[in-house]
C-alpha cells in the first residue's frame, strides 16, 4: 500500500505537465528577480527617486488573494464531490480575477492622472512593465479557469456524468497544477508590492 502511494507521488512529480509548470514558474521567478534587481541597480547607480506605489495595488492584493481562496475552495469541493460548490467557487475565482484586471486598469489610470507616466522616470517604467507582465500571466490563466468552469457546467448533468467527472485523474491533476500556478501569481504579486513599498520608504 505504502509502495503504491510512493509510486503515485513519483508519477505526479515527473508527469510532463508537472515538469512544464515547474519550468514555467522557474522562468517567471528569474524574470521578475532580474527586473527587480535591475530596478535596484538603476536606483543606486543613477540616484533615481523611487516610484510612488498606488494604494490601489494594496486593494488588488486583497482581490487576488480572494481569488486564490475561492480556487482553494473549488478544489476542496472537487475532492469532496460537491458539484454545486465546485462550480460556484470556480465562477467566483473568474469574477475576482476579472475584478483584479479592472482595478489594475484603474490603478494605472490613477498614475496617469497624477502625471506618473511610463516615461516619467526609469523607476516608473519598471513599475508599469512589471505590473503589466504580471497581469499578462493572470490573463493567461483565465482561459484555463473558464475551461474548467464551462466543462463542469456542460458535463455535470446527472449522477453518472458527475461521478465520471470527479473520478477523472487527469482533471484532478490539471486542477492541482492550476491551483499551484494561481498561488504562485499571488505570492509573486505580494513580493512585488512589498518590494516597491520598501523601496518607496528607503
Residue 6 has pLDDT above 50, yes or no: no
Mean pLDDT, rounded, for 126-153: 91
Taking the C-alpha atoms of residue 197 and residue 55, their distance in angstroms, rounded to an integer, is 10
Contact yes or no for 148/175 (Cβ under 8 A): yes
**Residue 3: pLDDT band with limits 50, 70, 90:** very low
Quote the CA–CA distance of 100 and 176 in Å, as a whole number: 22
Mean pLDDT of 13-24: 80
- List, as one string, the DSSP characters of 178-195: HHHHHHHHHHHHHHHHHH
pLDDT category of residue 9 using cuts at 50, 70 and 90: very low
Selected residue with higher pLDDT from 163 and 68: 68
* Residue among 172, 186, 190, 191 nearest 70 (CA): 186
Instruction: Report d(CA 18, CA 41) in Å as an integer.
Output: 34
Could you tell me the pLDDT band of residue 156, with boundaries at 50, 70 and 90?
Answer: confident
User: CATH number of 2-201: 1.20.120.80, 3.40.718.10, 3.40.30.10, 1.10.1660.10?
Assistant: 1.20.120.80
User: What is the number of other CB atoms lying within 10 angstroms of the CB of residue 163?
Assistant: 12
Grid cell in block for residue 50: 523611487
Q: How confident is the model at residue 12 (pLDDT cuts 50, 70, 90)?
A: low
Element (H, E) at 129: helix 122-155
- Match 465562477 to its residue by C-alpha cell: 91
Cell numbers placing 97: 480575477
**Residues 118/124/130/134 CA torsion (nearest 10 deg):** -70
Residue 4 has pLDDT above 60, yes or no: no
Averaged pLDDT of the chain: 86
Amino acid at each position: 500500500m505504502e509502495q503504491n502511494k510512493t509510486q503515485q507521488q513519483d508519477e505526479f512529480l515527473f508527469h510532463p505537465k508537472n515538469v512544464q509548470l515547474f519550468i514555467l514558474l522557474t522562468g517567471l521567478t528569474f524574470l521578475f528577480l532580474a527586473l527587480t534587481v535591475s530596478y535596484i541597480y538603476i536606483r543606486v547607480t543613477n540616484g533615481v527617486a523611487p516610484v510612488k506605489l498606488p494604494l490601489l495595488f494594496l486593494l488588488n492584493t486583497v482581490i487576488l488573494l480572494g481569488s486564490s481562496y475561492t480556487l482553494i475552495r473549488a478544489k476542496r469541493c472537487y475532492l469532496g464531490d460537491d458539484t454545486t460548490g465546485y462550480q460556484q467557487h470556480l465562477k467566483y475565482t473568474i469574477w475576482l480575477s476579472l475584478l483584479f484586471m479592472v482595478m489594475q486598469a484603474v490603478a494605472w489610470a490613477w498614475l496617469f492622472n497624477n502625471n506618473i507616466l511610463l516615461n516619467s522616470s526609469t523607476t516608473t517604467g519598471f513599475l508599469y512593465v512589471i505590473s503589466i507582465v504580471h497581469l499578462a500571466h493572470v490573463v493567461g490563466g483565465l482561459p484555463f479557469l473558464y475551461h474548467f468552469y464551462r466543462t463542469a457546467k456542460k458535463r455535470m448533468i446527472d449522477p453518472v456524468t458527475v461521478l465520471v467527472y470527479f473520478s477523472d485523474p487527469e482533471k484532478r491533476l490539471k486542477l492541482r497544477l492550476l491551483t499551484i500556478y494561481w498561488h504562485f501569481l499571488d505570492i509573486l504579486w505580494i513580493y512585488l508590492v512589498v518590494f516597491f513599498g520598501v523601496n518607496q520608504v528607503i
